[in-house]
């Protein structure tokens, strides 16, 4: 299950704005903001967000991933990922573009 924290972390790793992910997923920015705030959404919206993030290079880790730390997100590859990125503590409305 993808949580709001996973969505925020994945976007931060990629250095993308809410508008970037909304466009990639075919959703409105408001829907993405709500999902990142933890508001309830149906499975289809979370699936669209997950697919868009995975296409950008994110890997979602499950409890059974064999890695220490349990569930989470990481970069699958860095060729398409932004090298600059936005640090999680710097995510705010000003840089949501």
pLDDT tens for the chain, 97 residues long, are 789 999 999 999 999 999 999 999 999 999 999 999 999 888 999 999 999 999 999 999 877 656 566 678 888 865 444 455 666 677 777 776 5
What CATH class has 4-90?
mainly alpha
- Asked if 2 contacts 53 with a C-beta cutoff of 8 angstroms, the reply is no
CA atoms of 29 and 75, how far apart (whole Å): 23
Q: Work out the widest C-alpha separation in the chain, in whole angstroms.
A: 37
3-state secondary structure at position 59: strand
């Amino acid at each position: 299950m993808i949580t709001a924290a996973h969505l925020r972390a994945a976007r931060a790793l990629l250095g993308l704005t809410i508008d970037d992910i909304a466009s990639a997923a075919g959703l409105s920015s408001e829907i993405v903001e709500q999902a990142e705030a933890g508001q309830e959404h149906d499975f289809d919206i979370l699936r669209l967000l997950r697919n868009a993030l995975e296409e950008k290079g994110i890997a979602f880790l499950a409890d059974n991933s064999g890695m220490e730390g349990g569930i989470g997100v990481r970069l699958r590859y860095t060729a398409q990922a932004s090298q600059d990125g936005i640090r999680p503590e710097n995510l705010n409305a000003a840089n949501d573009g």
